[in-house]
Amino acid sequence: MNDPYANVAGKYDRIFENMNKGLRVAGLRMFRPSKGMDILDVGCGTGSHLELYRRYECNLFGIDISPSMLAVARARLGGSARLDLGDAANLPYEDRRFDFILSMLTLHEMMPGTRSKVLSEMKRVVKGQGHILLIDFHTGPYQPGKGWMSKLVILVSEFAAGWENFKNYRHFMVSGGLPKLAALNGLRVVKQSILAGGTITLCLTSPE
Ligand SMILES: C[S@@+](CC[C@H](N)C(=O)[O-])C[C@H]1O[C@@H](n2cnc3c(N)ncnc32)[C@H](O)[C@@H]1O
């Protein structure tokens, strides 16, 4: 299988974690997990996000389609999380398995038709009273200075990731980003926050 992250996985955190850490912390402020919760990270990448949740003594699960990203996550998390190689459009978990699901910077890079399948799978595996935290690029408006700098970095990164990736990113943006996607797929946004000069949004959602 083609792994678009094969050449990037080893340096992904060095390039992006400085920018991403603040978003992860903002997500934690939006939804603080309780001890013993079952938490799934969809598109867990190198495992940095799950690492942050380790201190809450939850049962951690991650799934990613990229073997190279997952290898970094396995080295980082060892036995403290169950990590699965697989497609988020077909989650290998039973119905209503998780108290909390998070997914960061993952939906925008999927093909348009895949996004709805993935959200439908998340809805299937989250508990009735559970929450889904989505973090992804925002459609603006962007703040002068900080916002436009951040937008430039995003555009360069998305373009450098290849044409297919860029097309998916563009589609995600022109379709209205996370709030539109959540509404279209029956997820109610219970809290929303817009960060990084208007370029990133965090949506805490629950199944309707
Ligand atoms: C930009 S990275 C973000 C990684 C991580 N969420 C983070 O915050 O650092 C996107 C991740 O989504 C994963 N991904 C993309 N499509 C996927 C799919 N259909 N199923 C599972 N993972 C997927 C990629 O392999 C990659 O690791």
Complete DSSP assignment for 175-190: TTHHHHHHHHTTEEEE
Of 100, 53, 44, 93, nearest to 73 by C-alpha is 44
- CB of residue 37 inside a 6 A radius of ligand 1: no
Residue nearest to atom 12 of ligand 1 (CA): 43
Distance of CA 44 from the midpoint of ligand 1 (Å)? 6
- 168 CB under 6 A from ligand 1? no
- CA-closest candidate to residue 127, choices 99, 103, 90: 99
CB 208 within 8 A of CB 186: yes
12 lines ligand 1 (CB under 6 A): no
The enclosing H or E element of 92 equals: none
52 lines ligand 1 (CB under 6 A): no
Q: How far is the CA of 88 from the centre of ligand 1 (A)?
A: 9
**Residue 82 near residue 61, CB atoms below 8 Å:** yes
The whole-number pLDDT of residue 182 equals 97
Distance 186 CA to ligand 1 centre (A): 22
Report the chain (208 residues): mean pLDDT per 10 consecutive residues. 92 95 98 97 98 96 98 97 98 98 98 97 97 98 96 96 96 98 97 98 95
Whether the full predicted model's pTM is greater than 0.95, yes or no, is yes
Q: How far is the CA of 181 from the centre of ligand 1 (A)?
A: 17
pLDDT, residue 26, reads 98
CA distances from 188 to 8, 56, 78, 157, 199 (A): 34, 26, 34, 30, 21
* pLDDT at position 180: 97
Q: Is 24 in the pocket of ligand 1 (CB under 6 A)?
A: no
pLDDT for 12 equals 96
